[in-house]
Chains A and B, each alone.
Chain A
Amino acid sequence: MATRAIQDPQLERDPAALLPRMPRLGLDPLLTLATIGLAVASLVTLDGLSHSQMVRQALFLGVGFLVMLVISRFDYSRLRELKWGLYLILLAAILVVLGVGHSLGGSTRSIGVSAFSFQGSEVGKVLLIVFLAAFVVDSSRRTSSRQLVSRVILLSLLPAMLVIAEPDLGSALVYIVVAFAVLYIAGVEAKYLAAVFALGVAALALVLVVGPMVGFHTVQAERLTAFLDPGSVPASKISNEIYQQKESLIAIGAGQKFGLGAAAAHTEINFVPLNSTDLIFAALAERFGFAGAAVVLSLYALMVWRTLRIVAAAKNLFGALIAAGVVTMLLFQVFINVGVAVDILPVTGVTLPLLSYGGSSVLTTFLALGLLQSIHAQARIAAGTKGRVLSI
């Protein structure tokens, strides 16, 4: 391909060149199965909470699935050339939300676009993954590891700082973790990664501990305090989120082995006001018990396993890095979201991929899944042209 591109640059800009070169493209069946399974789990759980939300979520999931199918048919490799454009779109999306966004639950995270409000920071996750992967691929042979690490970290800190200002600590953490994962998979030496890790811990401490001391945004610090020392927060100061975490724990416990089914009322009526978004796992676990929660976690594990395979089998470093970023994003969001619901982590405000109600989150996840399917498909094509067959 590279040879052809040099020979005929126009060809790459021809939309026809982006079309698949094989008439039949297989999706990764197990990844697709996990996707459909999680989508069904989302709808079944939401139906117990709010029928109207379930209907809208079905629409989001359907549109998302189509988006995934479409993306999977394009060769992701072309996105490399658009990396700075993607980065600008990422910054613009966050800035527009910051500038004109309306406040939802105390944070400015979305802008109203007619019927459906759009969260720039959600879609930004995928944009950042693609950008970082492209940046690393393009720079890896020209720069030293030290320079590469510092540039990647700076380039992801910029959008991270912007979304912290919204304030959306959850998305910011995703940005940082994703950058870390891309560098790790790109093969950067461990000592640099250790330095970045130390820097990250220090930055987090700055935001959570030093920030409140100098009067900077105390939402996160309050959440942390409430998590570490629940008794220290007076009843009147307990925020909705912290209250919800406690209620979530009760609801999950009440679910027991097989769930309360239709009798699950704790999460249904306003005990957990954000139950359909950040705390949908509590609703799921109350309704379907340990069994249901375990099935859903297994579907996520399946998704992660298939994605790791895609990382390993990608036809080029760009694909491997995108897949690595996506798998890290998925794993991180699942662990943080469920960790909050089961009270082993402080409230952070991260959605549960595919399960949480909301168009932005669903669309973002399907964008990522579409890229994964594309990487998988392209790997099969590449293997096929070499006369090799990829197993599933």
Chain B
Amino acid sequence: VIEAPLQRRAPLPPQLTRRVGVLGVLAFVLFGILVFRLWFLQVLTGTQNAAQATENVQRDIAIPPPRGNILSSDGQMLATYRNATEVAIVGDDLPAGTAAQTSLYMRLGALLGVKWQSIRRSVRLGIVEPGYAPTPVAYNVSERTLAYLGERKRYYPGVVERSVPVRDYPQGDIGSVVLGQVGQITGPGSGVTSPELGMPLYKGITAGSTVGQSGLEAEYQPYLQGTPGAEKVKVDAAGDPVAGQEPQIQAPIAGDQLVTSLDLGLEREGYIAIRQAQANARTLHNPATAAAFVAMDPNTGRVLGLGSVPTYNANDFATPISQSTYSQIGSAHADIDRAVDTGYPTGSTFKPITALAALGAGLITPSTLQGAGSSFTIGSGAQAESFRNSGGADYPNVDLVNALAESVDTYFYPLGASANVATGDGGAIQAEARKLGLGGSPGIDLPGGGFAGIVPDANWVVASNKQYVAQSCDGSRPKPAYAHDQLAINGCALGYLNPPWTVGQNIQLATGQGFFEATPLQMAIAYSAIFNNGTVWSPRIGEEILSPSGKVVQQLPPPQKQRQIYIDSSYRAAVMAGLHAAAQSPGGTSDAVFANFPYPVYGKTGTAQHTNAADQSWYVAYVPDGARSIVVAVTIEQGGFGAAAAAPAARLILSQWFGVKKQFIVGSSTDL
């Protein structure tokens, strides 16, 4: 072989050989780098990488734990669990690309009868980071569908089916607002404003897990949750379990059980009672849109029963909820616990509080006679403002007992007028109401602790107007000054601001009207304090925590006192006599309902007037019976007169508690 000479015709550059040589050296170096790197990866650290490749296909699938039971005080199941077949999606195994995933969701949705958009939503909610639990898509899937899916695994990548514990509420809609909802924990990717993942309440919970989101389920979440197990499966690259390799199962640990003070019989009867009251009110052409009840032990502060309608079946939320059910619940506000979280004007059920305030302030004594006539007038001439008795009833002068028994408005109007303080945080009535727990959250063991309600005064009017302006005025229009004499300027909130505090407002408050708002729970607490001689409870539902096997793990703290107040015994005696006469003596506003009740009843009707809507019906009652003493508060939204709607419901609840024959007796009193 003869070497070719590199002699070339012009214009081959003279340095060509050298430069080609440099290119050759560069090529040699580059190949050297690649070979060295491959040697390092495949020969030096090959076994490690091989191990990593195996690890890559070892998959931990979380097994959800059974949620702890919630029990009534007599050990009956309010919430438990059942095993259900779940079709879920393991995000790791989803095909790459939106189009492939959408196609999978559509095919799966058609197969399971689920909207594909809701599958996508569930996956987005559940998949936040690697290591999550499978996202449930459907439950109670038929054997045929499961078999179909099983045979076509490779066409449904990421889809698994398995038996998992699912929350079960044997009582259906009874107590659902108290028990609350469970659902998939919301993560930062789910679009909710405050995602639950990472909140202290949900510490250590992984995305995709089902957690308690409201009611007792949320309040006692750390006890009820349990610890998830894991199924450690070796899968090949296609996601199929490797043959001959049994999955290692790490069993989940069930959550602890919560024993409540709720009495299942009372709880059930409460729902029956308020629903019957609604039905009856509707025969009287009142819409009776909603209702709520609370029963508590005035001596211990324990809640015995609590409920609200319209409501929902708690099981609706135990598995992914259908969009139509969800919107039905939303549009009816059926997920609101009206017994704890909704404030209403209470009408005459407030009168005992006005009475205690007036007695304490020395405005009256129990024997003071006043209130004659059919109306009470303040001011004179064009400024005159008249407050009438319900139905224009004309009374003679009465003492306190009769004023309460017959609910004589003209007895209480002057008390509102004389107790008025035009500035600051009000006078004796406001002070008495606040002492009894109104206008402040009761701090019950439910998320939020319960609505604080409103005890209105001059300060409140200013504050609420400020709040209204802050919320409603977006800056495109000038903000009005808060002082009322400047309201004449053009302001964005003009016309919607509350008028300044007047004596008329205080007169309204004396009869539980006007801006005043309280929840049924707050009224039960206030009445309990009168009956138990001054203990204002912060009521509780949870009593103790049991292990899954039933051993006591922890006694929950008993109800705490919001405060202990002093009530003069003669004042208390007068008010008690008035309430007893109202319920069980001729002429009493609810005598028609309770006259033949075999236990002493201390009860007050209330009928609060709404603008452009039917009246709010109220009844609050106390029945002393030693350790079985009970206070019941019932309200029917737009239910009509207290004696006609709320009082008969209260009688049904009390009948259940004392084992009295249940009769729905409607009173006809038109007293407010």
Taking Cβ atoms with an 8 Å cutoff, the residues of A that contact B are 137, 140-141, 181, 184-187, 235-236, 240, 247, 249-257, 265-266, 268-271, 273, 285, 289-290, 293-294, 297, 300-301, 304-305, 308, 311-313, 315-317, 320, 324, 327-328, 331, 334-335, 338-339, 342, 344, 383, 388-392
Residue of A nearest to B55 (CB): A250
Shortest beta-carbon distance from A212 to chain B in Å: 23
Contacting pair B16 A320 (CB below 8 A): yes
Of B24-32, B210-218, B479-487, B648-656, which stretch is located at the interface? B24-32
Contacting pair B1 A253 (CB below 8 A): no
Q: Which of A181, A186, A253, A316 contacts B49 (CB 8 A)?
A: A253
A-B contact pairs, 9 of them (CB 8 A): A240-B97, A252-B38, A252-B41, A253-B41, A270-B95, A290-B46, A312-B6, A328-B23, A344-B37
Shortest beta-carbon distance from A294 to chain B in Å: 6
Contacting pair A390 B49 (CB below 8 A): no
Additional 13 contacts, C-beta under 8 A, given A253-B46, A301-B27, A304-B27: A184-B23, A187-B19, A236-B189, A247-B56, A253-B41, A270-B237, A270-B238, A289-B42, A305-B27, A308-B27, A324-B23, A344-B33, A388-B4
Residue of A nearest to B95 (CB): A270
A308 touching B24 in the complex, CB below 8 Å, given contacts A254-B49, A256-B42, A268-B237: yes
Tally of chain B residues near chain A (CB < 8 A): 51
Contacting pair B45 A253 (CB below 8 A): yes
Residues of chain A with a CB closer than 8 A to B140's CB: none
> How many angstroms from the CA of A297 to the CA of B31 in the assembled complex?
7
Q: Which of A235, A265, A290 contacts B43 (CB 8 A)?
A: A290
Contacting pair B12 A257 (CB below 8 A): no
Contacting pair B130 A316 (CB below 8 A): no
User: Is residue B659 contacting chain A, with contact meaning CB distance below 8 A?
Assistant: no
Contacting pair A391 B37 (CB below 8 A): no
Contacting pair B4 A383 (CB below 8 A): yes
Residues 33-79 of B contacting A (Cβ, < 8 Å): 33-35, 37-39, 41-43, 45-50, 52-53, 56
Contacting pair A297 B6 (CB below 8 A): no
Pairs of residues from A and B, 9 with the lowest C-beta to C-beta distance, nearest first:
A253-B49, A187-B13, A256-B46, A254-B53, A290-B42, A391-B1, A269-B237, A265-B237, A254-B50
Contacting pair B49 A320 (CB below 8 A): no
A185 touching B42 in the complex, CB below 8 Å, given contacts A253-B53, A331-B27, A344-B33: no
Q: Which of B20, B48, B237 contacts A308 (CB 8 A)?
A: B20
Residues of chain B with a CB closer than 8 A to A257's CB: 42-43, 46
Q: Is the interface of B mostly helix, strand, loop or mixed?
A: helix
A185 touching B20 in the complex, CB below 8 Å, given contacts A269-B238, A293-B42, A313-B6: yes
Residues of chain A with a CB closer than 8 A to B47's CB: 256
> How many angstroms from the CA of A285 to the CA of B19 in the assembled complex?
33
Contacting pair B38 A290 (CB below 8 A): yes
> How many angstroms from the CA of A269 to the CA of B157 in the assembled complex?
12
Q: Which of B17, B52, B238 contacts A253 (CB 8 A)?
A: B52
Residues 3-22 of B contacting A (Cβ, < 8 Å): 3-6, 8-9, 11-17, 19-20
Contacting pair B42 A297 (CB below 8 A): no
Residue of B nearest to A181 (CB): B23
User: Is residue B129 contacting chain A, with contact meaning CB distance below 8 A?
Assistant: yes
Shortest beta-carbon distance from B637 to chain A in Å: 46
Shortest beta-carbon distance from A232 to chain B in Å: 15
Q: Which of A252, A253, A339, A388 contacts B48 (CB 8 A)?
A: A253
Shortest beta-carbon distance from B610 to chain A in Å: 50
Q: Which of A181, A297, A311, A344 contacts B35 (CB 8 A)?
A: A297
> How many angstroms from the CA of A251 to the CA of B56 in the assembled complex?
11
Q: Which of B6, B16, B56 contacts A250 (CB 8 A)?
A: B56
Q: Which of B12, B15, B50 contacts A316 (CB 8 A)?
A: B12
User: Is residue B2 contacting chain A, with contact meaning CB distance below 8 A?
Assistant: yes
Q: Which of B23, B50, B128 has the most CB of A within 10 A?
A: B23
A186 touching B13 in the complex, CB below 8 Å, given contacts A304-B27, A335-B34: yes
Residues of chain B with a CB closer than 8 A to A252's CB: 38, 41-42, 49
Residue of B nearest to A330 (CB): B27
Residue of B nearest to A105 (CB): B97
Contacting pair B50 A293 (CB below 8 A): no
Residue of A nearest to B13 (CB): A187
Shortest beta-carbon distance from A282 to chain B in Å: 11
